[in-house]
Every structure is written in structure tokens, then in C-alpha cells.
Amino acid sequence: MPKVNKLPQYPNDSGWVNSLARRQPKPSLAKDIKVDALILGAGFAGLAAAHRLAELKPDWHIAIVDALAVGMASAGRNSGFMIDLPHTLDSDSYTSSAAGAADNADQQVIDFNRNAIDYGRKLVQRYKLDCDWSETGKVHAAATAQGAKSHQAFMAGLDALGEAYTELNKEQMIALTGIDYYHSGVHTPGTVAVQPAAFVRGLADNLPANVSLYENTPVSDYQWGSPHVLKTPNGSIKAQQILLCNNGFAAMFGVSKASLLPLLLFASMTRVMSAEEQALLGGEAQWGLVPSHPAGATIKRTADQRLVVRTGIKSGHKMRYDARTIAAMQRMQRESYMRRFGSKLPELEFEFSWGGLLCMSRNEGTVFGTIGSNLHAAICQNGLGVARGTSSGKLLAEHVAGHDSELLRKHLRAPKPAWMPPHPISTMGVAANIWRHESMAGAEA
């Protein structure tokens, strides 16, 4: 039976998780079970798949397993932007290519992402999830005139797509953030901001009756067949259908091994600001900024009045990080914080610092659909899994249940991840690319 040679492993350091009330995870698997469908991974993709499959197949017995407690992996470590528009991370301006726009690829991305937002909103309303779901959009913020130049290409792309946006000048950026740091911005209204850990926990705690969730249940061995057989520490699973929703860790199951590129991103979150500190900062009570340069810093003011700085990238080929890395990233984030907030709130310290994994591919390709006999996957979200994971998990459930739609047919034709040279060559290439981006980010970092 093939073994899974790397399992998810994170310290309990995420600010999104630790700023919430403690939650009791569901018990881990402690017996042998047989199910109609097993969903592997309880992040955005897995939980959306579980909800949708249960709706479409109410007579199926469905199980969903995760190696960790829900929210402890990337789904509870990200910046919580459920982005509706094309957002190409490897482009200096985020825009897709003109060719992409011409062949309708950008419109397809928008339809796909808005499918996630519609489904997310439906579940949040149905289960009254307390997750700071906020339909306030995002602001692309430029710290310099040079940074603002990339906004021109971004806005031209939005014009071509007929998508709304509002340009913000320096005064408007001050009115929004309370700080005199940004040169200008572009607000796009369709992105949803969410407390990511609260969102996935809410989805996990409101699963339909025909779904059993097993947390802290790593799948360590697997045998694809009829049925498929999976081993976990205290019980095995026999499943007719498997839905792989474990993003970059799918490579450990032999899926697209030579094409998936793991990257680590890092963030820090302050303690809650006092009423005096909030007044001193000024600006609006909640906002989120995406940097004009992809290697810049994402900055958020959360609903519970903390500031979050997300900056720092590293190759993720080890699929984990150590305390030294976190300390180095925290220093970089503190510099980023002090440049922005140092004149107003120099004493506001970080309470949490953490990292998390992304799964990228060279060509923004994705693994979606049936990849073997009764074996299906929704993986490789290219760093945008809040929307893409939710949408691809929902659509994968529809595919497995035999449901048909134009969106599903189009997504089944989405490009696959392109081949990459193996580690260490790919890792060296990634490191060089990160260095190039970071050295160009300047005041945006």
C-alpha cells in the first residue's frame, strides 16, 4: 500500500484561529468504516464539496477527514479575501494576459469565483455563520507613484471586462486607513472579506446529517481500487468515491507530483486596539488592502480591531516551517508595520505570527475532475483558494453527483498544471523569482 510521505504539520500559531473562542474538534476516526464517498481535506474545497454532495446525494453516507483540526491548516491561515476578479499573482499588475481577456478566460474566472461567493453567502445565511462576512470589496493600494503605475494596467483590464472600480486618491486613502502612507488606490466592490478560520469552522460545525467529519485524522496510506482503501492511525476507510480536496498535499498521493509548486506565505496580527488607539489611528473601522506589487504587504484592519500584516514568501518544498523562519518573517513584518503605523501606534505589538502553504503551478493550471476510476480532485488553487477552493469543491461535488452546468463543463476544460523541473532546480527557480519580486517591492512591502 503506497505511503503518504509528508503530512500537514503546523504549530498552533494562527492569529485567525487564536483570536476566536476555543472550539472542540470532532473526534478522530477510531474504527473501520465504509462510505459512499470520502472527502480528503476539510479546507475550503473539502467543506464546500461536503455541503454540496450532501445536498445532491441525501441517501449517500459521506465522510470528510482532515489530518488536523478544522482551521489549523491553510484555510485558517490566509488573509480571507474571497476574490471575484482575475488575480494573477505572478503578474506585476495582477491582470491576466490580453489574450486571456480576448478568449473569454477572464470572464470564466469571474463566473467561477462568483459561484464561490454565491454559495458561500448562501451557507453563511443558511447556518447564520458568525464569520465577519463582509461584502465591502478590496482596495489595491500603492505606496508609491511607481506602484500606482501597475494600477493602470489593472484598470485597463477591468475596463475591457466592463467591471466596476473606483480610483482613490491620497486623501481618500488617508480617510480609509487613518495613515498617511499610500499614494493612491483602486477599490473593486465584488470581493468578500471573511474571518477565514471562523468561516471554515462554521461550515464544519453545520454539516448535513449524512456527512461525518473526522478531525485530527491523517491519511497515511492509500490504495486506489474498488473500493478505495485509506489508512488512518486508528481506523481504515473503504470508499466507493474519493474526492481529493487536499491542495498541494495531493502530490503525496501521486497526483501531479511534477507540476505542483508549494509556497509558504507569512503574516502577523496585533493585539486588539484599545478605544484610544482606535481613535488615534482614525480611518474606517474595517478595511483590507491588497498591495499594488505582488511581493508587497497585504494589510487588514479586522472586525475585532486588530491590524494584520501579510508579507514574506518562501519556497514550501518541505511543506512546513520552523521557529527561526517565523522570527525572521516577524522582523520583516514589524518593519512593514512601523513604516505604516509607527508614527501613530508604535507600541501596538504583534500577538500572533504564523505561516501557511499555497499550491501554485507554473501556468495557473488546476487539477479538477475525475483523475482515475471513481477518483476525483479539486486541487491547486494557485494561492486563491478562498474563492477557488470553495467553487471547485462545490463543482466537484456536482460532477460526482452527475449534475451538469455550463460552468462545470468549462471548469472541466481548465488548463492542467504545467510540468516543472524537480526539486532542487524548481526550488532554486522559485527562490530567484521571490528575490526578484521582493527586491522590486520597495515601499510596497
Ligand X SMILES: Cc1cc2nc3c(=O)[nH]c(=O)nc-3n(C[C@H](O)[C@H](O)[C@H](O)COP(=O)(O)OP(=O)(O)OC[C@H]3O[C@@H](n4cnc5c(N)ncnc54)[C@H](O)[C@@H]3O)c2cc1C
Residues 6 or more apart whose CB falls under 8 angstroms from that of 152 comprise 93
**Binds ligand X by CB under 6 A, chosen from 173, 297, 358, 441:** 358
Take residue 109 and report the three cell numbers written for it: 474566472
User: Which part of the chain contacts ligand X (CB under 6 A), choosing from 68-76, 313-321, 323-331, 426-434?
Assistant: 68-76
Per-residue b or e along 156-177, where b marks 16 or more CB atoms closer than 10 Å to that residue's CB: ebbeebebebeebeeebbbebb
Q: What is the DSSP letter of 17?
A: H
Q: Interface with ligand X includes 395 (CB under 6 A)? A: no
User: Which part of the chain contacts ligand X (CB under 6 A), choosing from 140-148, 173-181, 381-389, 408-416?
Assistant: 381-389
Q: Which is nearer to ligand X, 142 or 313 (CB)?
A: 313
Q: Which of residues 296-335 bind ligand X (CB under 6 A)?
A: 310
Q: Which is nearer to ligand X, 219 or 395 (CB)?
A: 219
Q: Which of residues 76-105 bind ligand X (CB under 6 A)?
A: 77-81, 83
| Rounded least distance, CB 342 to ligand X, Å | 22
Q: CA torsion angle for 242, 245, 250, 255 (degrees, to 10)? A: 60
Q: Interface with ligand X includes 20 (CB under 6 A)? A: no
Q: Interface with ligand X includes 294 (CB under 6 A)? A: no
Q: Interface with ligand X includes 268 (CB under 6 A)? A: no
Neighbours of 180 (CB within 10 A): 12
Give the neighbor-by-neighbor strand order of the sheet with 350-360: 166-168, 184-188, 138-142, 287-291, 298-301, 307-315, 261-270, 350-360
Q: Interface with ligand X includes 219 (CB under 6 A)? A: yes
Instruction: Please state, in angstroms and rounded to a whole number, the distance separating the CA atoms of residues 203 and 46.
Output: 10
| Rounded least distance, CB 56 to ligand X, Å | 19
The CA angle 77-189-120, to the nearest 5 degrees, is 50
Q: What is the DSSP string of 243-260?
A: EE--GGGGGGGTSSTTT-
Neighbours of 6 (CB within 10 A): 14
Q: Which is nearer to ligand X, 46 or 277 (CB)?
A: 46
How many chain residues touch ligand X (CB under 6 A)?
Answer: 41
**Binds ligand X by CB under 6 A, chosen from 17, 29, 33, 45:** 45
| Rounded least distance, CB 170 to ligand X, Å | 25
Q: Interface with ligand X includes 16 (CB under 6 A)? A: no
**Binds ligand X by CB under 6 A, chosen from 20, 35, 64, 73:** 73
Q: Interface with ligand X includes 369 (CB under 6 A)? A: no
Q: At what angle do helices 145-161 and 105-126 cross, to 10 degrees?
A: 90
Q: Interface with ligand X includes 384 (CB under 6 A)? A: yes
**Binds ligand X by CB under 6 A, chosen from 29, 38, 66, 306:** 66
Evaluated on CA atoms 326, 327, 328, 333, the torsion sign reads positive
Q: Which has the closest alpha carbon to 197: 113, 297, 74, 305?
A: 74
Interface with ligand X by CB under 6 A: which residues?
4, 7-8, 40-46, 65-68, 73-75, 77-81, 83, 218-219, 245-247, 249, 265, 267, 310, 356, 358, 381, 383-387, 389
